[in-house]
Amino acid sequence: MTEARILVVEDEESYRDSLNFLLRREGFEVMLAETGPQGVAAFARDGADVVLLDLMLPGMSGTEVFHAIRERSDVPILMVTAKDDQVDKIIGLELGADDYVTKPYSGRELVARIRAVLRRHATGLEGIPDEPERLTVAGMTLDPERLTLTRDGESESVPPKEFALLFLLAQNAGRVLPRQVIIDRVWGADYFGDTKTLDVHIKRIRSRIEAVPAEPVIIQTVRGVGYTLEP
């Protein structure tokens, strides 16, 4: 299988150079664009399997580039936002970016995110509907109106955050959800609390649904990325 082709739209030379080096070393094919118009033109000319798009670009903003590419294609777009800029994150999510990373990012994390986005895109899994209905996956039935979990004919109530987390994972079964995406969706994009909260909730859910919570098979940890629920 040939490795994916990545279009990098980034105005800062140092980031462009290091991304070019990092992504090529990982075996990706890399196309570089310095400006929004160059990025749109490169995508129109050569296409890409993933677009890594800096939100803060001179001239044509990342948002405009996003829309210009989206008009043509549903290619996965990973937004790159400035350090700790919550506004950028929110814009990225509202636009419907497939994921985002915050500068400065670790190369390993970025590559993991790119691979996760590619896998997700390949499987064509859906996002979360506005009015979720009852869902059955991995031998569990989740009722979002009653916040109940039914397994082996037995129902139990689940606290709201735990339920939201489990439902999100179940809705996206088979797909790796990055930690930050989970935190934003379950706790809100303005949540600044300890990210250990997520692990604590995962632990509680595992104690409900896993035969051996210390050796989970339903909800799996993807090191350095997040969690996935095995369908």
**Contact status: 88 vs Ca ion (CB under 5 A):** no
- The C-alpha atoms of residue 28 and residue 115 are separated, in whole angstroms, by 10
Output 54 or 98, the one with its CB closest to Ca ion.
54
Instruction: Tell me if 208 sits within 8 A of 150, measured CB to CB.
Output: no
- Residue 37 CB neighbours (<10 A): 16
Q: Which stretch binds Ca ion (CB under 5 A): 6-14, 84-92, 97-105, 159-167?
A: 6-14
Judge if the upstream peptide bond of residue 104 is cis by omega within 30 degrees of 0: yes
Chain centroid to CA 227: 11
Smallest distance, Ca ion to C-beta of residue 25, A: 23
Task: Mark the segment that binds Ca ion (CB under 5 A) among 3-11, 37-45, 124-132, 165-173.
Answer: 3-11
Site size with Ca ion, rule: CB under 5 A:
3
Contact track, Ca ion, 135-154, x by CB under 5 A:
--------------------
- Output the CA–CA distances (angstroms, integers) from residue 39 to 21, 45, 46, 92, in the order listed: 19, 10, 10, 17
Minimum distance between the CB of residue 127 and Ca ion, rounded to whole angstroms? 27
Instruction: State the Cα–Cα distance between residues 91 and 79, nearest whole angstrom.
Output: 10
What is the per-residue DSSP string for 207-228?
Answer: HHH-SSTTS-SSEEEETTTEEE
State yes or no: residue 99 binds Ca ion (CB under 5 A). no
Which range touches Ca ion (CB under 5 A), out of 10-18, 84-92, 126-134, 178-186?
10-18
| Nearer residue to Ca ion within complex by CB, 54 or 162 | 54
Q: Which among 9-17, 18-26, 146-154, 205-213 is the span making contact with Ca ion, rule CB under 5 A?
A: 9-17
Which range of residues in 8-16, 158-166, 200-208, 219-227 is near Ca ion by CB under 5 A? 8-16
Q: Hey, what are 106's tokens?
A: 């670790």
Binding mask 37-66 for Ca ion (x = CB under 5 A): -----------------x-x----------
State the Cα angle at 204 between 199 and 215, rounded to 5°.
80
User: Nearest distance from residue 142's CB to Ca ion, in Å?
Assistant: 41
State yes or no: residue 11 binds Ca ion (CB under 5 A): yes
d(CA 176, CA 154): 28
Return d(Cα 169, Cα 200) in angstroms, integer. Answer: 15
Taking each helix axis as running N to C, give the angle between helix 196-209 and helix 160-171, from 0 to 180 degrees, rounded to the nearest 10: 80
| 22 counts as binding Ca ion under rule CB under 5 A | no
Binding site for Ca ion (CB under 5 A): 11, 54, 56
